[in-house]
Structure 1
Amino acid sequence: CGGATRADSVLGGLRAIAGEAAAGDWVLVHDAARPCLAPWHVDKLVRELAHDEVGGLLAVPVADTLKRADEHRHVCETVPRDSLWQAQTPQMFRYAMLRRALEGAREVTDEASAIEAAGLRPRLVQGDATNLKVTFPLDLHLAEWILKNREGHNA
């Protein structure tokens, strides 16, 4: 099911389940770069979106001050963060809606972006920082610490 891009990979997965998934079935897409996903993250996402028409995603409010820079790394502006959220996974949408959205928007970086490009408005469900994305070497150490120290872990 893998593809050259995330959208291609997810679309391949959706095509693979085409014979089993009904148009209105929920599909949750999670990336392997977030190894600290906990059951309560999924429970909260499903609970809060169960009756939503569109679906949505886990996200956390942006806490850091954000700067927009030019090509020389000179600050052009400080971006107000009061309405900015950092997207996480899983992202949860209806099967047919997500498939159509991805077929129409292949250059997106996540499923919510494809849904947005289709003219819909995904809902944000507040997650937490423990559902971090492992991108840099330090992130791997943080993820290991989170998993080792998570309540109920018996290692």
Structure 2
Amino acid sequence: MPRHYAIVPAAGTGARFGADKPKQYLDLLGRPLIFHTLAALTACPEIERVWVVLSPDDPYWPRYDWSVLGLKLETVRCGGATRAESVHNGLQAAAMVAVEDDWVLVHDAARPCLSGQMLDAMFRELADDPVGGILAVPVADTLKRADAEQRVAATEPRDGLWQAQTPQMFRYGQLCSALQNHRDVTDEAGAIEAAGLTPRLVRGDSTNLKVTYPADLALAAMILRGRK
């Protein structure tokens, strides 16, 4: 049976957040934000190993105690200049155990509210899929296209549009090949699409938010408190 592994690229600086350190290390309910992300993955019985891809000179990781997350968690200091490079390097680190047909879930470091139910939905819906897929939610809001003066230039139809989330789950071999040949992408699904394949959309929900701005951090805290 194919095994499941996870990769969390965590070499970014989170510049849009405007904090004095990378946002994955900001405090969230008394722990660094990324702790909650990793806890969701390491707690999942189906996931055998979780690799965190750090920047080679990351000074923050050693300041925290990660031992409570258990033996599934491994760190590799091979983060690149882009997300695609970090994930590709993480896949190379996984080559010691992963084989062609194993599943790899790539998850954002700053998406701390992933639930077991969301992971179960992915495993269930993608188990026999030839390509794999991503968590996503249908776009609910009206979309406006701006002009150069930040005025509304057009209203865009939202029919059929989905907002991509993570995890994004693909076969190890296919993902390695896709990222090797298509580095100019913003997510793993983009590389898979560029390789001519069509990822499946697995419906998630809006609680699986990505912390990008300070208000998002407060909302993530509310979501996690509500679950407890």
TM-score category, normalised to shorter length: over 0.9
Equivalence for 2:24: none
Post-superposition shift, 1:82? 1.2
Equivalence for 2:98: 21
Post-superposition shift, 1:103? 1.0
Equivalent residue pairs, number: 151
Equivalence for 2:159: 82
Post-superposition shift, 1:104? 1.2
Post-superposition shift, 1:63? 0.7
Pair 1:140-2:220 in alignment: no
Out of 48, 53, 57, which is 2:134 matched to? Answer: 57
Q: Unpaired segments of 5 or more residues in structure 2? A: 1-77
Does the residue aligned with 2:215 lie in a helix, a strand or coil?
helix
**TM-score between both structures, scaled by the size of structure 2:** 0.65
Higher relative contact order (CA 8 A, sep 6+): 1
Equivalence for 1:110: 187
Equivalence for 1:127: 204
Equivalence for 1:100: 177
Pair 1:91-2:172 in alignment: no
Provide the rounded CA distance (Å) in 2 between the counterparts of 1:12 and 1:70.
38
Does the residue aligned with 2:124 lie in a helix, a strand or coil?
helix
Does the residue aligned with 2:114 lie in a helix, a strand or coil?
coil
Provide the rounded CA distance (Å) in 2 between the counterparts of 1:19 and 1:140.
36
Provide the rounded CA distance (Å) in 1 between the counterparts of 2:212 and 2:97.
34
Post-superposition shift, 1:23? 0.6
Provide the rounded CA distance (Å) in 1 between the counterparts of 2:109 and 2:153.
35
Provide the rounded CA distance (Å) in 1 between the counterparts of 2:110 and 2:143.
23
Does the residue aligned with 1:147 lie in a helix, a strand or coil?
helix
Residue-by-residue CA offset, 1:4-40 (whole Å, 9 max, x unaligned): 1110110011000112111111100011110000111
Q: Unpaired segments of 5 or more residues in structure 1? A: none
Out of 108, 111, 116, which is 1:39 matched to? Answer: 116
Equivalence for 1:69: 146
Runs of 4 or more, structure 1, over 6 Å off, are none
Pair 1:10-2:87 in alignment: yes
Provide the rounded CA distance (Å) in 2 between the counterparts of 1:90 and 1:10.
13
**TM-score between both structures, scaled by the size of structure 1:** 0.94
- CA RMSD in angstroms comes to 0.9
Post-superposition shift, 1:75? 2.3
